[in-house]
Structure 1
Amino acid sequence: MKKIISIILGGFMILMLAACGQTAEPVKTEAESKNAVSAGKEQANKEKESKLTLEEVFKKTEEANKDINSFASQMNMKQNIEVSGEKQEFQSDIEMEFILEPMALHQKMTMSLAGEKQEVDAYLTKEGFYMYEPNEKMWFKLPEEFSTQILQMSEGQTNPSGQLEQLKEFVDEFEFQQDDKNFILTLKASGEKFDQFLKDNVKNVLPAEMQADNMMGDMKFNEVKYELHIDKETFYLNTLNMVLDTDTQIEDEKMNMKIDMQSTYSNYNKVENIEIPKEALENAQEIN
């Protein structure tokens, strides 16, 4: 069971765009779908349509990412986990502020499990990883090696430019659309090629001691879907939605995990400082 929990907590890489030569198809609103659009409105909509290809959006997004040093995000995630016939449902609501250089994170999370809510207020900086547990009304400091591992993993994922290049091989899998404000990229992928790619990326975000092949188990991706909304003006990521369905065989136990995540991103380069509260630094109880 420890290996199962470790893989759940390890998380999955956030994937980004790929390059392609097609332009984005406009997305019709529900009202437009039900009613014929007037000639004047149709012309106005056409004027808002971008002629950029997916390859051009990819390049502009890659350039914009290089200038990002901070952002905020909100995430809602539902997880359904079944292990050997036993089912558990998790509901997580997360608010986060993130600075890349030097790396710092402030995260407030509310997680619901079996009708019970657990709240966590966490800070992660070069000074360490501190968490406030409201039920205990106490601050805790996690071991230095733990915070170091998380910092290393986070620093490897914060700049998506490296992942952009990797996804070029899946260019034919993308659906490319647009609305008035966003380019909309949708990826539904399956097959052995994509399956191995995801396994490799999950493996890369885990701590070193968990990267052995036998720790990954016999992982199978039943469904993978990413929907990304890229701002037409700034080329920053506005929305990332993900659906994931996996089967894994670990220690003679079969685990099925379904994840449905919706997240939004904002305040790019406006998060200027994240400091661990003085109360935490002075009173935190260190745990192993």
Structure 2
Amino acid sequence: EGMTTETYLTKDGFFVFDSSLGKWIKYDDEMYEEIVGLSNQQLDPTAQFELMTKYYESVVVLENDDTYELHMSISGDGFQDLLSEMLGMPGLGLEGEDLFGESNIDVKKMEIVSVLDKETLFPVAESLDSVMSITVEGETVEISQKGEFSYSNHNELEEIVIPQDIIDEAISMEEALAEFEAEFEQAS
């Protein structure tokens, strides 16, 4: 099933349109701080490559006329180890927490192709093909994802303004979870 998302992340907060609810959700300030902290923690390209080669099963870099293509694949324990290391980075406030609790993530396949501008190293495009299962409290859900992403207009916007109607109509994450639970109970 196809899904399109729209997101705003500014000093006014973190807002995401949820197409299944047909509503805007405003994430709490803690989530906003974590995302801003993560973007401030970005690694230099050499450190990113070292992180990838530590956990990914395959990393291949192709050089084109104007771009570099990074082809990466990961599965199984490598994904969970990588996720644990990334979420445990200093500055995110998650150090020492049990990140997965009783859940189990089994990545059967995850292939990523990232295309970077050769001159600036800004991302140009990315594709994702993954199959994973997640088990929580004995219930298993299998998720198959294919994604195509494109990036443009790097550093060209002067200011991002969240439309006032989005700010006014957005529901909290707690309200969104309550609506998801109500829909799930009706479907059962």
TM range (shorter): 0.5 to 0.7
Distance, in Å, in 2 between the alignment partners of 1:167 and 1:128 is: 31
* Residue 3 (structure 2) aligned to one of 92, 97, 116: 92
TM superposition shift of 1:131: 6.4
Contact 1:218 1:250 in 2 (8 A): yes
Cα distance in structure 1, aligned partners of 2:25 and 2:127: 32
* SS of residue paired to 2:82: helix
> Is 2:117–2:124's contact at 8 Å kept on the other side of the alignment?
yes
> CA shift at 1:202, angstroms?
7.2
- Asked whether the 8 Å contact 2:134–2:141 carries over to 1, the reply is yes
Q: Contact (CA 8 Å) 2:52, 2:59: kept in 1 or not?
A: no
Corresponding residue for 1:200?
Answer: 84
Deviation at 1:216, TM superposition (A): 6.0
Q: Is the 8 A contact 2:103 2:136 kept in 1?
A: yes
Distance in 1 between residues matched to 2:149 and 2:17, nearest whole Å? 24
| 2:10 paired with 1:128 | no
Question: Aligned to 2:121, what secondary structure does the other structure show?
Answer: coil
User: Which one of 54, 57, 73 corresponds to residue 169 of structure 1?
Assistant: 54
Within the alignment, does 1:254 sit opposite 2:140 as a pair? yes
Q: 1:4 matched to which residue of 2?
A: none
Q: Secondary structure at the match of 1:93?
A: coil
Cα distance in 2 for residues equivalent to 1:286 and 1:188: 37
| Aligned residue identity for 1:257 | I
The residue type paired with residue 34 of structure 2 is Q
Q: CA deviation at 1:160?
A: 4.5
Partner amino acid for 2:64? Answer: D
Who is 2:123 aligned against? 237
Consecutive unaligned residues in structure 1, runs of 5 or more: 1-89, 95-107, 109-121
Distance 1:172 1:214, change over 3 A: closer
- Work out whether residues 124 and 147 of structure 1, in 8 Å CA contact, stay in contact via their aligned partners in 2: no
Superposed, 1:37-56 pairs within 5 Å as none
Q: In the aligned structure 2, how far is the partner of 1:236 from the partner of 1:228?
A: 10
Which position in structure 1 is the counterpart of 2:106?
Answer: 220
Give the aligned residue type for 2:126: L
8 Å contact kept, 2:116–2:122? yes
Count of residues paired in the alignment: 165
Structure with greater contact order relative to length (CA < 8 Å, sep ≥ 6): 1
For residue 168 of structure 1, report the CA deviation from its aligned partner: 4.0
Between the aligned partners of 2:84 and 2:123, the Cα distance in structure 1 is: 24
- State the partner residue of 2:37: 155
Deviation at 1:133, TM superposition (A): 8.7
How far did 1:277 drift? 2.8
- Letter matched to residue 155 of structure 1: G
Residue 273 of structure 1, CA deviation: 0.3
One-letter amino acid matched to 1:197: D
Q: Which amino acid aligns with 2:82?
A: L
Match of 1:184 in 2: 69
In 2 relative to 1, CA 141–207 (structure 1 residues): closer, same or farther, beyond 3 Å?
A: farther
- SS of alignment partner, residue 219 of structure 1: strand
Stretches of structure 2 that go unaligned for 5 or more consecutive residues are 175-188
Q: Per-residue deviation at 1:124?
A: 3.5
CA–CA distance in 2 between the matches of 1:216 and 1:150? 26
